[in-house]
Amino acid sequence: MEFIKDVLKHLRTLESFDAEPFFPFTEETCRFIIDDIQREEELKPRAIMHAFNAVLQEADPKIEAGKITTISPEFAKGVLVEHVPLPTGEESS
């Protein structure tokens, strides 16, 4: 969770600097994604980034359009059903 918080903090723009620590995700959503990764593959930074990126790519247009304000666990679940884990051996490249 700290890894995710640090990555998101690093990517914050000045305008959203005071946003919630996991924004646009909720803390509950982050925990859900981490748990989902662990069910399918080893929990490594690359696998984490891969899954979070997949969810964010689907959510970003909806956030920009004002259709959603944060990424819920239900939204993430819908995306991750289609998510393909990284092939074995690709996690550390």
pTM for the model: 0.81
In a domain, 65, yes or no: yes
Between 9 and 61, residue with greater pLDDT: 61
The residue range of the domain holding 39 is: 2-11+26-80
What's the confidence (pLDDT) of residue 21?
A: 84
What's the confidence (pLDDT) of residue 85?
A: 64
Residue 13: band (very low, low, confident or very high) from pLDDT cuts 50, 70, 90: low
In a domain, 55, yes or no: yes
In a domain, 92, yes or no: no
In a domain, 16, yes or no: no
**Within 13 Å of residue 17, how many CA atoms lie on the same side as its CB?**
2
In a domain, 57, yes or no: yes
Q: How many domains does the chain have?
A: 1
In whole angstroms, give the CA distance from residue 15 to residue 6. Answer: 17
In a domain, 71, yes or no: yes
In a domain, 6, yes or no: yes
In a domain, 18, yes or no: no
% residues pLDDT > 70 (the chain): 84
